[in-house]
Structure 1
Amino acid sequence: MPGTVGRVPNPPAPVSGAPSASGTAAVVLRHDWAGTPLGPWRAWDPAVRAATELLLASPVPMTLTLGDDHLLVYNDAYAELIGDRHPDAVGRPAAEVFAESWPLPGVGEAIERTYRSGEPFLEKETTLPLHRRPGLVEQSVFTRGYSPVRDSAGRIVGVLTVAAETTQVTQQLQSLSDFAAALAGTLTLDDVARVALRYAITAFDADRVSFAVDEGGGWRMVRRIRGELVDEADERLPPLWRRIPPEWQGPVATAARSGVPLVVDDGQPLREIAVDRHDQKVRSLATVPLRASVVRGSLTVGYQVPHVWSAARRALLATSAELVGQAAERARRFETQHGTAQLLQRSMLPAHLPDLPRMRIAARYDPGVDGNAAGGDFYDAFLLPDGRLGIVLGDVAGHDVQAAARMGQVRAALRALALTDPRPDAVLAGLDRLVTSLGAEGETHELFVTVVFGVVDADRQRLTLASAGHPAPLIRRCAPDGAPVTEYLDVPAGAPLGLGCRPPTVTVRFAPGDTLLLFSDGVVERRWQDLTTGLDALADAVAGAGSGDPRALCAVATAAVPGATEDDVAVLAVEHALRPSRSTSMEVPAEPTAPSRVRHWMTAQLTEWQVPESIIGAAVLCTSELTTNALLHAGTAARVEIDLSPERLLVSVADSGTRGTVTRAQTDTLSSRGRGLGLIEELSDAWGTDPTLRGSTVWFEILIPPG
């Protein structure tokens, strides 16, 4: 929602506020902002000041309307457009300054719309009256782009308008507006790099573009070459970063260190640092620093023929780099906060689930839309002293560190209670006393915890459950002579923990071939539809799954209900297998020969297990691709696991490192990039990705025909 410009206590004096400011910048900085709702310039939010400084330094006509009154801030180029209205227009409401044009379509209402909705907007080639000289009104054609301006807290505080008087730049403005909108949706540096490279190669019709950031202990760079095969599936993979030593003297690092653009119209700018023929062929190059306050880096555009960099082209590249810099800073903050929150979250979840002959178990946890805070969803599965299996899924309300800490307390207490007395009603009654005590200790009545706990007795083919305010579990039953059917178990929900929970227990049949699904409300709840719709969609999706394999069903469940959810999502699936499966694994070293070794090992293993040749070929090809991608993007050892049952072959490849640490030698050797996940989609019946405590796991499933 729009808001007033944020204030900061005792802010440092801005650099652009120095006496050296001249022209329109001097008028803006010396304006009596203290007499407006925005307050003194020194007290403006840093993000708003940064946007203003970017505007004042830009050669492109720009204006910034701030606050509910749309008070005007603009630069020299815009001052030339409004003629004798400058300098009196500075700090005044836009509706007053442009009273004759404000009611026109695409003017006042466009600014209001962007300010209220936060959606960027491009108004193409409209005719507006301009008073360039006293007594003379000119009808001028403009293209204007409107983008929301946010403060450091993410609130909309104004609208940035970029104006172009010639139709020749309409396409560039449209592209720049789309670029800004695309960058606004990025979360990580991988996302920023993908968007920046895609935009730069197209907008500048370049032969080579690159994006680099300073990682502290060195540089990280990614590039794209004209004509390089990048399909839709490949776009979803992390970009292929190259590590560069901190002392590197290439144009990318030189421009980033100095803050000064480097432009070569004709020459061999990459001759000394070329890594392949693409770099060697570059004749013209422009490298622009990001000019971000936290992230140091640059954006580079190159051509294989001489190219004259006009002022307009340089300005467009500089503006693009500014947008990339802002997005990179947001991404760096997000990655730092996200990594800490997710490390906390996942460190409180079980690192490994039990590996049992007749019980296949899988779980999945996905953070909410923000993904930037720890949550309270949790799951667990563990063996009881008598050999039975305890399973649990719960939800502690909240999306902060405190919620995650309470989740850890509840999960640890539940396992301790279950190992002493596994009766579900007794376990939840003990948890209720714990939550009541935690609430009293914290002097809060807002401690809201729901949980479902069950005990699986495989020998007696039964399942005993109790619930404390949690959604009813879903079970997928395997019909011997028909399609699978699903049903929600009739487990009384009872009251959430901490409210005197005394839930009854329910015992149901759990036969071989059945799969149980425990899930949090984030799986089925959406703001725009009722809960029944979500529950029906989940039941239909699980029933229609190709197999009852737990890992596949976890992926099916998390994608069953369309649309995004702001809540965390947790799923735990347990399959009572018809027959025990066979499994094995291989540790894959981070070296160029690894994919070949995996292919030979897997072919031999599946042949020994008498898997049909057609399935062996598809599985080996998919596994080779996943292994290559894991080594390319993680740069650490990977682990390949095979699990074969009479119904399906399940293969997973897990990496264990941070993305982007692959060496140059590995990049050259592991060159089977390009087919990627599109190949997995084509050859497998189901596939998915599972985040782990460190790294990620990609898996696929191939169904085995009967007989």
Structure 2
Amino acid sequence: MPTEPESPGPALPSGPPTTSSGRARPPAQAARRHALRTAPGLAAGRLAPMLSGGLPLATSDSTPDWLEPAMAANGIGSFDWDIRRDVLEGDLRACTIVGLDAVEKGRFDRSSASFLALLHPEDAPVVRRRVERAVSELGQCGAYYRTVGPTGAMRAVRFRGRVLADAFGRASRMVGFVWDATVELHKRDRADRLALLREERSRFIKEAARALSEAVTVRDVARVFTELPLPGLPPDGLVLASFEAGRVQVLGASGYRPEELAGYDRSVLPPTHPAAEALRGRAPVFCASREEYRERYPDVWEQARRTTRSSWAFLPLVASGRAIGVCVVSFDDDRELDADERTLLSTLGGLVAQSLARARLHDAEHELAAGLQRVMLPRTVPSVPGVTTAVRYLAAGSGLQIGGDWYDVVPLPGGHVGLVIGDVQGHDVHAAGIMGQLRIALRAYAAEGHPPAAVMARASRFLADLDTDHFATCTYAEVNVDYGVVYAVRAGHLDPVVRRADGTAATVPVAGGLPLGIAPDEEYRVTRFSLDPGETVLLCTDGLVEARGMDLDEGIARLTAVLAEPLADAARTGRDPLEDLADRIASQAADSSEREDDIALLVLRWDGPEGGLAAQQLRRRIGQADLARIAEVRAELRDALRRWGVAELIDTAELLSSELVTNAIRHTDRDAMFTARLYREPAADGGRARLRVEVEDESDLWPTRRTPGEQASSGRGLMLVEALADGWGVEPRGSGKRMWFELTVTPAE
């Protein structure tokens, strides 16, 4: 194979550097100009070392007699090229080395073009270029080249020549030597192949290390191992197995039938098995043939005999000084692995061991985190008549995949339902533990029947008493299932989002307070809003609407856009549209590999009673000291009358109800019970609607109608009731009394 130009070596015995007449050569530049002007082979681009048909050298620079025996002993031939006449001459050895047999000699016309035709097409340009340079510089050149015979046989030749100048300093002749370099070239080819194989193995180790470093789970490690292309020794079978408590578990395999591995999977590894020997000695075990396997391990030969394998390599997987598994590399033919191949397999075993140990730790941590998260979150969501709920939880894409986000659905006294969504600071096991305690405490407070503000205040004090240096954000909403009224409390959390009956979606502003655990004495305000049948309220944690590259406003806008999309057809999908909606919202979250925060999602749809109409009765207890409850009851009454279809009674009913409730609270020291009922007459009887409002208390003191003066600040309540109600009265009730009034409305024609 030709190489790049070599540096000029020592002068060959091919004549003195001066002319025969003793005249000095012209300067180098003049010599090059003369050579280019007078060399016919150079002008034609055909210059190369040439050989004749074995004619003796006829020049005055023939090989000296003292050098001939040395050349003959070393198989070196000589050549002489007349550059001006483009004629080549060489001795018999040179012809033999080049491969000119009798047939070739007849075809060879001793010209440069004829000789170039003998060379390999890849080598001829290189040889020509080097000779041209030597002629132009009156210097030396040399190269490897290959000749191709008429039968396609190829041989390698090496030459070295020197250009001689005439009396005028022009290139006249090139003389030199040739010798057979086939063996030398074969050595170089073998060295090149070995170097290429080493390069491939080094590249394989780098690629295997990269692929195994990216493997996260044990399944990933098994997949990467069984798909690795081993350079130079492609195996016919690969097995990766873990070793725990004396038992083997096959993690992955290629090139084996399932029945061939069934006897080993989850079984005790025999102590005489070569894999057991490799694990005990922490060193690979190689079997080059079936005979060697049978002789060394006769006790377990029967299982190996049933396979088609003929040679094996058992590589122990050792991590942190502990044997955790074994790799088996097998071949269908007998194979005695050399030192480089064994080193390659041993290195691969070390890489697989480290990756497998890391993957097993990851799987164990993931299972621990997933189990802990399952215990902390509700296993099931209770079914409450009148509402439909759907929940989703997505763990963070990094770390232990566990955090402090949670959701809960709590059945409350009176058929109501409580919705909880929260997020404890942090994304670790500590945060998950705090979340579990806080969820249980908040659930207990809600189940006891405390109003939403009291539930949130008690939860905040509970978290502060834990003294964990953690805080939590939370939104708690109590839903009146009878009327679709929602009482929401927010502690540093996101506002709820409501999807209305017309398909629009928007956030509902809720009065907020400090996160739980920061100010134990924080008082939280309640925000009230209502739902129509079929409307949906959504609570979520910030992981759904905040991510890298997406701020909160953008996330809320995306969420409301998804929520406003048309719902799926239950008849077509066979699922409740709320479940499809929850899946669609969760799918908008960032990919699990990039998500930095947990996501908890709770969706509730108020279905209402059958027919879509709320029950036409409202009953509420008003505490003696809870004056804010009066305003809440008035608001609930407004919603109820609007839903019952008697909105024209709202103003009058609200005013009179407020008077009766205020009278009961002011003049007694007990709680009051407020009840509103709507009665409808049949259409045949006119279809009138009659609203009856009752306020019960436990006082025996009856109200007295008075006529207050112009400057009096009280005493007009019963006057308003008498003037505006269609009927009113006071009835005894055991230890107390019941005040009532009625309003009637006749449907329009």
- Higher Rg of the two aligned structures: 2
TM norm structure 2:
0.47
Higher relative contact order (CA 8 A, sep 6+): 1
- Give the alignment's TM-score, normalised by structure 1: 0.50
